[in-house]
Structure 1
């Protein structure tokens, strides 16, 4: 049986969406949703017909059966992190990751686990470890494991950092439950195929037909299956038909692994588990280059390591430039590095022998004569930090710094397209030498990292896909590269699958006979060719549907300087081919789909996605909708009016965490402000943009009438007033400091031109927490204090609501006021205001004064760290503190700034709530955001508050964080009443005890 056609049938999106919804399915055919799912992490873009979010296997079967009856292609999708273009298509996309995330069972005796296809790998691993008391785990751990799904790992045959010991996903699959192209639910096992429901006669009949076809394929073709397949550890390209051989027991389940959703949709699986390493030790070795590193791999393999992973200098330089030198602390000298992990399993379970084995390995590597430097890393924090450099390799390498000038910002881009080839480990050095010659021949640069111990290299290449000549070079290169890897006995793909990136090249790797067998295998399962067309069989041309091709070259005039050297800021003019790329286009294209914003733990981004688990609310989806706007808008002006983009940005908290946590540095808070600036120009804005956006302008009046306003906040009038202002009446509103309090606080500050430090009293501190300014002044020892005025502030509220003309005017005045001809640090108590002055000021105000002022700005916690560096002796501090990490401080001044300063001050137990508080400036107060804001608060802050001891201070340097703490304490009986304190108050040498009479308090309004 062969495939009759794999070309998609034209179908009206609205009609398909309506029909699927009439079947009781959650189907979304909106233009915004289709834009979000037009991309994965590859170079490709295909707009789907609609997206279905099934709740269980039965709903998957219903959707697939409808598509089969109507000749509509089906594209299964998990986390959408694949780089081969195998999770997109012009049909119905079935997203298994939203609802089908259940772990059904963990058998600790038999060492197996059963779960649905949409479960994220780290979630599965966490569940297994908890069920086995930390003894077992699921072995495959690709770098995308925090957002990649089990079904995707099976579809692509994922591997990971520890594959040198544990192999591929294939090696761990026991059985898989699948939905066939016709909509039947079958179970593929280690010995055959059966219907999931024995009473379903149609499914029983179809299972028998498929099994008979597969047995005939195997028995009639024993020789080619034995000769051409499974020759190297990472031979992932093509179908895994060798598992149908008699010596492998006719393992149909494993034959389906790596089929990329082209044969059936995996909806659940049973997988085997492996013991957890309890004593991992990392040996990090530096080399002159990756070829030298590859030559030492055989020596490393002799020691039975659990991992042998490599990175090159460009990734490390980019990490240092983007996240600071401390982010790669622990790396030895060198220009390329290998991580070698040994554990108790490397030495036969003898834990005491691990250190000796590591030392012996280091000696043998030095004796080989290629090692530059080597270090043993036993500290878990340092080890995790170094592993993150490797795990973020794909993202970091996409926007690289210039090695000759790493401080200059982004130097050049690199892209997938040939990122996944594999050879036998012993042939890796020669392959890499040939590969580098090939790059030079085509005038390209490759960024190399990957699984050296398994011979699998991830290489991102400086392809130019925006121009016709660049695309021609890319196509010529990948064909030459395919021939090169085949000449070395290797595989086009070693982990990511073939997809649209490599399927066309399979005839270079396989004989015509094997290609026909692949077609036959696909045809047995999917005779109409409706499942994920364009991959493996009847492939789409590599050069078709490239996401960077065909974008109109326009200039999108921006208020922000988005940091692209040589870019012109001229309105509405076409950018000629070959000139510098428009800065806004370049910025939004920083998102390449790696999907770290979809992770459920670690880091801070993306809080709204973690709250809703909807792709719409991920940083990636917002970037993709922006990219679609740039592509499809008839002109610039109508592009800025896009309702799809406005809707996509609605639940962005502007927390800025993505600018740090995203490996490619996407700064969605800035893009949101820029979009709102244009979208609402000349139009009526949401009421909150006036009430909260113009807060600094009316705060002086508010403090003058504070008693009356505060009294109203305690009455039933508060609710209607909040709604008129575009706010949510359920959210606790702050009490304003009285004018007398503000004046008293400001009078206590000093103006000293000879002071070594400038204290900038921001709007929030002045209006709501004037006592913080007093404490800060005392800690700083008499700083030159400047108070924020209505026309002299950080402009944050105008920035976050996209009122950038006003923000620029305010910031220009602020820069002039603070540019005093000195280099004295400017210390800002409110972290969000400090971040705005540090980052947004020079991006909005393009003057030398703005740049000089921004370079001097420090958050309060950052400056306290500098004081400690200079030998300052702090007062006694509490032994335990819960700290709500402020998102803007996290993003602009460093993820661990507040927590590390507390430890240096002598706090023995720092309990850090690393996650957005849910208020995030104006977001948490705005109507329509309450539920999401509360769900965001539940990610880290609320659990930390419930776990704290009653006498334990809660550090809330950010005013929004303080408001979130007060609100949670007011609505959650499990949280003790607590008032957040600022670091300045915590270390105030006078440390006065606040009283109700002189301290602004906050109240909760009952809805």
Structure 2
């Protein structure tokens, strides 16, 4: 009996959620917050599901299918939600496999195979395989968070598909379940196996029989219309039903975008990588010239051939990535060519490759990159392309929608030139990059979805672009799938006979249309369900009188939140030197990711799912575990800054309302510390006595935390009664006296004075007792923060105007002076001047005293980069200074320490705070040799280390000061 899909708009989300819970379907969520988080992926589209399910085991998936079939509710499978085409969105139930259903089931090194659940992240599989000298061939740029199930759904490819093919080329077997509940194991089939299956009957036999008859009746169409070149991904891969492909139903299912069956497990092929690799960077006068060179370069047996132009690199602001870009050969466009093989053969092959490139018109130069670390930094530019390209150099928004087309490589130059002319014809711009070696281009375009005219231009442009691709024998999708973005355009690429076959193929698998309906066949319009649309009127709070200026987003809070385009880099659990997102790495929950929080905030501005605006408890709860580490501001390719968004939200959420206790105690800590500093022994005795639990309870402090002890004497008291040392030939420097070091660890500031005076500076401090306002900012008390910040900028303005640098020793306060105050003090010239004048100790010594010789001290150290420094200044100057001192330093890829100012002290945050520290930092500290220095400039970092290990952290200033001659130190 055929089930008719019901109108999901008439179904109650609460009733569906209850039915799924009764049906033993795993973790089920139907609340507004969760539905809002899953209303978008990395595409232009928005569809709010009725419920989200996180299956923990195979039976849960089968139960979900059974409940949804009974109720007539559609099911959409989702991995990491990084799809740019909209196929990870659905109006019914979204199945998120990534959180729990993500195990490696088996790995056979001898056979070179692995069996996995669909939610496993590619990097997790790669780590397991690398232990046996193996890897999975397809490697999309989202490898740190994309799942194998999602890769199977889209037939993902990646940079190395030139050598190792698409996901389909590595899939051996699939275990799947249809919407009607039939479980099948799919793979190659011989003629005898096909006949036996048909003879056996049952659901499996009937399905295989129908598919076999479909193939046999259309052999000519399958051979001529499909599988013409490697990146022909659009539509269904029916060519795998051909006899010469051994009727491979597993590969035919790859790229079907969850419209045919739900994957329960996959067995995939692993390969042995070459023993060595070499990266050759080739410069060209423009991307079209680079495209023309591709066919000749492919003769060199490349592992990868990726292209990008200056429009992409011009967008980069992150210090480390910017530094890597600055080392590229001077050119407007580049090809990254990677060779693999034996070490002794690579130099000659690289030379031959460069010589071939030299014969190409428009070639400007080449460089062979031999340093693996530098090569990795350059590859990272390419990996971050999908995020970087969403904001053009002028700050305008750019969108997917036409960013995945592919043509045969020999047609790439012609296609790119005509495509560039088409952009100009429509008055559009976009940064081009992609897999040039396989003719696949990615480009994000500055469509204007906020107006009727702009949306009409979008529709007209992608229609003409589809015709252009078809004229070059190409594919609308080269790896990201069709989804809502391209399915409607498929008739422009395929004739009616192929489209008819696609519909029949879908009907055989899913006659009830219950799996991801409206994708590939019977499509939705390409301009429907747009996330940003002139038909959607945001709430007035989209442009409120914000505490921060949001200058980069035209003062529009909604525009700021929609910076998140869903590429999901914040969802990585791997530690590659990034900070974001510490709480997600602990909970592995979408709501705790940068993306999940940005999605909720954007939905809040729209008022459709999140209906109570700034008072939203869903948004408040999602932001609760945000550490305000600022990591996303640097690590997110689009610069989503949830720390600032959180402060803004808390500012409005608690306006004229009672705040959490911690906002009054830790938020006002700089002022509360002043009376405490007059009687530190009494205060310390109280906070360490039997009354300490009561003090913590009244202060909203986690019971497990030790309250830091106040110093017997503040730094300011000490400094104002001392006599300066030296003549200060380099002139004055203003030392920022932060509240943390001033009241708790004055020895850090004293060490800073000793180092600065030894380097030839005359140390000054601001008049009075100043504060940057950080604690008020993080707790969303922006009115008070603004007044505090105004006092600080006014106190420093004369020195800044006189060209005096301001050096900060506490990274969180330094970052506040550099980034937060200009945003908080709208249009204030003093704040902007202060931001430009503020430097870290290492930056001052390296850039303002380059001839100063730091004391040599042959030693080893490990260093924890404060997350705010990571986000604003980077570690480059520190690394150089340590090198000059003779320190053998290891920079830990540990992300945030987990304490993060008030976060780790607040009641309810202790477990997440500690778990974040335990991922890398704390184990590294415990395992370090006793003679190894543990460098940590942040007060929070040192506190976390002291409270969770038997070691203490050392500030860089202290390390240098201790190595100075005794007569030169006053610490």
1:562 corresponds, among 550, 553, 562, to 550
Aligned to 2:235: 238
**Distance in 2 (alpha carbons) for counterparts of 1:990 and 1:898:** 16
Counterpart for residue 864 of structure 1? 845
C-alpha separation between the residues in 2 aligned to 1:633 and 1:799? 29
CA distance in 2: counterparts of 1:911 and 1:843, whole angstroms: 31
Paired position in structure 1 for 2:625: 651
Q: Is 1:747 the equivalent of 2:721?
A: yes
1:622 aligns with 2:597: yes
In 1, Cα distance between equivalents of 2:67 and 2:670: 56
* Corresponding residue number in structure 1 for 2:465: 481
1:666 matched to 2:629: no
The whole-number CA distance in structure 2 between the counterparts of 1:941 and 1:740 is 29
Query: TM-score scaled to structure 1, two decimals?
Result: 0.91
Q: Which position in structure 2 is the counterpart of 1:761?
A: 737
Following TM superposition, by how much is the alpha carbon of 1:88 offset from its aligned partner in structure 2, in angstroms? Answer: 0.5
Tell me the CA shift for residue 764 of structure 1. Answer: 0.6
Deviations 1:826-845 (A, max 9, x none): 01110100000111111111
SS in 2 for 1:690: helix
Supply the distance in 1 between the matched residues of 2:60 and 2:169 (Cα, whole angstroms). Answer: 29
Match of 2:157 in 1: 159
- CA contact 1:693–1:798 (8 Å) conserved in 2: yes
The answer for the alignment partner of 1:1005 in structure 2 is none
The SS at the match of 1:858 is: strand
The equivalent residue for 1:833 is 813
Is 2:21 the partner of 1:21? yes
Equivalent position of 1:611 in the other structure = 586
Would you say the 8 A contact 1:608–1:651 is kept in 2? yes
CA RMSD of aligned residues (A): 2.5
For residue 369 of structure 2, the aligned residue among 356, 363, 377 is 377
Is the Cα–Cα contact under 8 Å of residues 883 and 898 in structure 1 kept in the other structure?
Answer: no
State the alpha-carbon separation in 2 of the partners of residues 902 and 179 from structure 1.
Answer: 58
Corresponding residue for residue 409 of structure 2: 425
d(CA) in 2 for partners of 1:664 and 1:643?
Answer: 27
Q: Which residue of 2 aligns with 1:984?
A: 957
| Distance 1:985-1:779 versus aligned 2 partners, 3 A rule | same
Q: Tell me the SS of whatever aligns to 1:275.
A: coil
Query: How far did residue 221 of structure 1 move?
Result: 1.3
The equivalent of 2:226 in structure 1 is 229
Matches within 5 A, 1:565-644: 567=554, 582-601=555-574, 602=576, 603-632=578-607, 638-644=612-618
Q: Distance in 1 between matches of 2:637 and 2:490?
A: 31
1:675 equivalenced with 2:649 (yes/no): yes
| 1:290 is the counterpart of 2:287 | yes
Q: In structure 2, do the counterparts of structure 1 residues 250 and 393 end up closer, same or farther at CA, with 3 Å as the change threshold?
A: same
Residue 897 (structure 1) shift: 4.7
- Using the TM superposition, give the Cα deviation of residue 11 of structure 1 relative to its aligned residue in structure 2, in angstroms: 1.5
CA–CA separation in structure 1 for the residues paired with 2:407 and 2:923: 48
> For residues 669-818 of structure 1, what are the structure 2 equivalents within 5 Å?
669-739=643-713, 743-748=717-722, 750=724, 755-781=731-757, 782-786=761-765, 792-818=770-796
Pairs aligned (count): 950
User: Contact 1:243–1:250 (CA<8 Å) still a contact in 2?
Assistant: yes
Q: Distance in 1 between matches of 2:628 and 2:872?
A: 13
Partner of 2:66: 65
Task: Name structure 1 gaps, 5 residues minimum.
Answer: 345-349, 403-409, 568-581, 970-976, 1000-1007
2:440 is aligned with 1:447: no
Is the 8 Å Cα contact of residues 4 and 72 (structure 2) preserved in structure 1?
no
Q: Is the 1:43–1:416 Cα contact (8 Å) retained in structure 2?
A: yes
What's the CA shift string for 1:554-601, capped at 9, x where partnerless? 422211111247x4xxxxxxxxxxxxxx52122111100000000112
Q: Which residue of 1 aligns with 2:483?
A: 499
Q: 3-state SS of the aligned residue for 1:368? A: coil
Looking at structure 1, the residues matched to 67 and 767 of structure 2 have their Cα atoms a distance apart, in angstroms, of: 63
Q: 1:182: how far off?
A: 2.1
8 Å contact from structure 2 (residues 822, 831) kept in 1 = yes
**Residue 344 (structure 2) aligns with:** 352
Q: Secondary structure, in 3 states, of the residue corresponding to 1:621?
A: helix
In structure 1, distance between residues paired with 2:474 and 2:605: 39
Shift of 1:187: 1.5
**Alpha-carbon shift at residue 884 of structure 1 (Å):** 1.1
Residues 405-457 of structure 1 deviation map (CA, whole Å, 9 limit, x = unaligned):
xxxxx2x2211001000110001111111111211121111221100000111
Match of 2:247 among 247, 250, 269: 250
Q: Measured at CA, do residues 321 and 686 of structure 1 come closer, stay the same or move farther in structure 2, by a change above 3 Å? A: closer
Q: Is the 8 A contact 2:811 2:937 kept in 1?
A: yes
1:212 Cα deviation from its structure 2 partner? 1.4
Distance 2:864 2:592 in 1: 23
Structure 1 residues 723-732 or 206-215, which shifts more?
Answer: 206-215
Sort the Cα spacing of 1:895 and 1:466 in 2 relative to 1 into closer, same or farther, 3 A: farther
What SS does structure 1 have at the residue aligned with 2:314? helix
Closer, same or farther: CA 244–316 of 1 in aligned 2, 3 Å? same
Alpha-carbon contact 2:715-2:750 (below 8 Å) kept: no
CA distance 1:938–1:539, change in 2 (3 Å): same
Deviations 1:457-490 (A, max 9, x none): 1121111111110000000011111111011111
1:873-952 alignment to 2 at 5 Å? 873-952=853-932
Deviation string 1:499-529 (CA, Å, 9 cap, x unpaired) is 0000001111112121111111111111110
Aligned in 2, Cα 1:192/1:716: closer, same or farther, shift over 3 Å?
Answer: farther
Question: Alpha-carbon deviation of 1:750?
Answer: 4.9
Quickly say closer, same or farther: Cα 1:719–1:591, change in 2 above 3 A.
Answer: same
Which runs of 5 or more residues in structure 2 are unaligned?
A: none
Deviation at 1:903, TM superposition (A): 2.6
Which residue matches 1:579? none
Aligned partner of residue 335 in structure 2, secondary structure: strand
SS of aligned partner of 2:120: coil
Structure 1 residues 855-887: Cα deviation after superposition (integer angstroms, max 9, x where no partner): 10112232233256x111111335211111100
- Return closer, same or farther for 1:44/1:904 CA change in 2, 3 Å cut-off: farther
Match of 2:495 in 1: 511
| Distance change >3 Å, CA 749–CA 433, structure 1 → 2 | farther
2:468 & 2:475 partners in 1: Cα distance? Answer: 10
Deviation at 1:946, TM superposition (A): 2.5
| C-alpha contact 2:857 2:963 (8 A) present in aligned 1 | no
Give the match for residue 182 of structure 2: 184
Shift in Å, 1:351:
3.3
CA distance in structure 2 between the aligned counterparts of 1:946 and 1:207, rounded to whole angstroms: 57
